[in-house]
Amino acid sequence: MHNLHKALTVIKFYEGCKLQAYQDVAGVWTIGYGRTWMFNRPVCASDRCTQKEADDWLIEDATTPARAIQKLLRVDVTENEFCAMVSLTYNIGVKAFRDSTLLKLLNDKASAGMVANEFLRWNKAGGNVVNGLTTRRKHERDLFLSVDLDEAA
């Protein structure tokens, strides 16, 4: 599996970490780095967690989409492409990614630019454009298109 460091960095930056439950932009109770479930139940208004729990959950919650993406890919991708897709999938869910035009174009070997532009379509919550999601998707798009100097060597 690819190194998830860059994906975790993007997720941490855009999700932020809150140890007290809060409602996200769509009104869903959330905790840590955007987690909506804890201890086999939905997050509730009174929930709290430790920083260690939030950090552990982030790794667990990012590993799930990473594994799913690996199974769905029929082409090789760079670490940056993979990390951009993990960040996206962490936010939109595996089912949405599996059914996405982004994945279809990638597996059909469309141009990197065409695939990358699909990130920009995922900027809504509750049917409304969210500026923070627009910014995040541009960052993920840029990461997808960037060349890792270690891979280029």
pTM tops 0.85, yes or no = yes
Active site residues: 15
Assigned domain for 153 exists: no
70 closest CA partner among 81, 61, 60? 81
Q: What is the pLDDT of residues 9-45, one digit of tens each?
A: 999 999 999 999 999 888 999 999 999 999 999 999 9
Per the structure, the complete domain to which residue 58 belongs is given by 5-148
Assigned domain for 14 exists: yes
Question: Domain containing 58 — which CATH number?
Answer: 1.10.530.40
Assigned domain for 103 exists: yes
Give the position of tokens 């060349």: 147
Assigned domain for 25 exists: yes
91 — phi, psi (to 5°)? Answer: -85, -40
Residue 150 has pLDDT above 70, yes or no: no
- Count: domains in the chain: 1
How far is residue 85's CA from residue 112's CA, in Å, rounded to a whole number? 13
48 — phi, psi (to 5°)? Answer: -135, 160
Assigned domain for 16 exists: yes
Q: What is the pLDDT of residues 76-120, one digit of tens each?
A: 999 999 999 999 999 999 999 999 999 999 999 999 999 999 999
